[in-house]
Chain A
């Protein structure tokens, strides 16, 4: 039972390069999320997908795009990386339990450095 799997775990990019962070969950969860974590800033939502086929912007979407490929997979793309995007990225998923949203299940994180 893998839970939420993110790849890659580490990546170094040069300014202007592009890359995609992959996320997959095997818990049959409806909702998926991408967060970035920066020191002193906590977790900030980049994009989320409430259900398969839908995506919406979060608090800090600029410079990112997402694709909800199917129910399991939710990828995050940096089209032209900038040093301000140096961060640790977490993917999370969540099921709906009746009227309650349930807790988030997180992946192990992807540490991205943009030079």
Chain B
């Protein structure tokens, strides 16, 4: 069965620090990749997605992610975090042709002002 690993479970940063959250998956075929964000007390919403084409994907609020097929990775980055980025971040992988995305366990990000 496919799996999605988010190695950083808890990340604490100060404002203006750079962020990189790791996501690795174990499926060898075509995949669709997503990062979702869940702000405190809210539902999940899409941050960015990759289907095909340019492996560097830009999302909302200055986030970007890079798909590296050879490493089965889809890491999330932001050059300078803000206090308002405090949230939980979920990576999700959907094998091509499947209805079912698999989610990682999430990374809790706390940004201190």
Contacts and interface: CB of A to CB of B under 8 A. Distances in A.
Contacts, number: 48
Q: Which of B9, B43, B49, B101 is most buried by chain A, counting CB atoms within 10 A of its CB?
A: B43
Contacts of B56: none
Interface in B38-52: 42-46, 49, 51
Nearest to B46: A103
Contacts of A58: 100
Contact of B103 (A43, A107, A109): A43
Interface of B: 9, 32, 34, 36, 42-46, 49, 51, 90, 92, 94, 96-101, 103-106
A99 B92 CA distance: 18
B90 A42 contact: yes
Report the contact-size class of chain A (Cβ under 8 Å from the partner). Answer: 20 to 34
Nearest to B99: A50
**Main SS at interface, chain B:** loop
Given A31-B99, A48-B99, A99-B96, A42 B104 contact: yes
A110 B97 CA distance: 30
Contact of B101 (A41, A99, A104): A104
A101 B43 contact: no
B90 A107 contact: no
B34 A103 contact: yes
Interface of A: 31, 35, 40-45, 48, 50, 58, 90, 92, 99-101, 103-104, 106-109
A35 B102 CA distance: 11
B44 A101 contact: no
A41 to B, nearest CB: 6
Contact of A43 (B42, B49, B90, B96): B90
A38 to B, nearest CB: 10
Contacts of A101: 32, 94, 98-99, 101
